[in-house]
Structure 1
């Protein structure tokens, strides 16, 4: 009887440990890793090759948040974004806040080698409606292109940013 009790305790203990290990990283799924191609320390250049800034992207909060820390070549401008997969809405979200009081909330998904996030429709001070669309493309050489468009309700497009990310480490 004692041997059966010991076997039961061992099996129960193993089962509990296995369950704890399987649930210890709730954000270690394939979906949560879709934007990992952006992780790293980067030098960012404009289309003409001029220096745009630096960016450090890392994972925090047990792999649940992809954090961005941007430092622009324009002195005094910095910003941070938290990017996360929202399992409830089944989409990625980015919440950006900069040191000038600006903020942006984007939502979307990965399509092939691109992460495509868009804002809701925004109305500016002149009553013009527009939304932002930011696309990060993983290039074959490991670099990443960030292409940010501002799109008006009549579909006219202004490029707000076009940067090429190259890893520094």
Structure 2
């Protein structure tokens, strides 16, 4: 609870310049009330805000802080009244998000689930995005099994992580996992690969280690903003170990890239790099090159990935 309170205090300090416009008239005694508020002297701050504020005062920030004092003191009905008064003035969207989220907490504590969900939805509409609070705060305990709460949480999650809601960005997820890797058609272990979803689902990070220590490397896989197609940038531990695979497209259960490279004599080669989705626990990675513009092809490597079961290697 202390960490949450400190987070709220920090947020209030960050957004204070936005909210100053709400206090159109400097109220006598408001600085004292605010100092008590930031000192977490809830009873003292409550008393001072009540002395400062009149029913006709449209100072959204001050009413919000009084509401928080009442909430913290367990005066839930008084907290709701203060929060409602906070919304009566010209309140900026960030402050509205805070007020509606706090009202949602109070209503949840009072068992008024439908009202709480409605206010939380309003908070999200104004920019509320505190997933950690939604997932852990005890105040929301009575809401978490509510379909409405789950929908709002998903909406907030996708707002913070838009790639998770992007169907194209999810096309390569079949490669995510921990794998034993074998030359296709053999039982000879060639290496291990850990493929992780990173950057809020906007990229995949490959971590490769050969069993015999001959090679290691990482690749970052993402949708290239320049052309809207998948791209892989690979960096290996060997000489000239940087390679880019481009124009990636997923079709017919396979992610297909193209690339250019050179042979040992420096002659240009065109290449095809394909990941075949063979079900939940199997991926085939196939790389081939052509020295004659695609008339003939030579296999560079052909590997099969078998998902490692938890607790096994």
TM value normalised by structure 1? 0.85
Deviation at 1:151, TM superposition (A): 1.8
CA displacement 1:51-104 (0-9 Å, x = unmatched): 111100001122222000111123241111000112441100000011113111
Unaligned runs of 5+ in 2: 1-55, 59-83, 98-122, 131-155
Gaps of 5+ in 1: none
> Displacement of 1:24 after TM fit?
1.1
Q: Which has the higher strand share?
A: 1
CA distance in 1 between partners of 2:169 and 2:280 (Å)? 23
Alignment partner of 1:144: what SS? strand
Structure 1 residues 2-151: aligned runs within 5 Å: 6=87, 12-13=96-97, 14=123, 15-17=125-127, 21=156, 22-28=158-164, 29-46=166-183, 47-101=185-239, 102-107=241-246, 108-119=248-259, 121-124=260-263, 126=265, 128-140=267-279, 142-151=281-290
Larger radius of gyration: 2
The alignment covers a number of residue pairs equal to 168
Q: Is the 8 A contact 1:129 1:153 kept in 2?
A: no
**Structure 1's 129 and 153: CA in aligned 2 closer, same or farther, altered over 3 A?**
farther
Higher helix share: 2
> For the aligned residues, what is the CA RMSD?
2.6
Tell me how far apart the structure 2 counterparts of residues 132 and 98 of structure 1 sit (CA, whole Å). Answer: 18
TM-score, length of structure 2 as denominator length: 0.48
Which structure exhibits the higher relative contact order, with contacts defined as CA atoms closer than 8 Å and separated by 6 or more residues?
Answer: 1
Runs of 4+ in 1 over 3 A off after TM superposition: 1-5, 7-12, 121-127
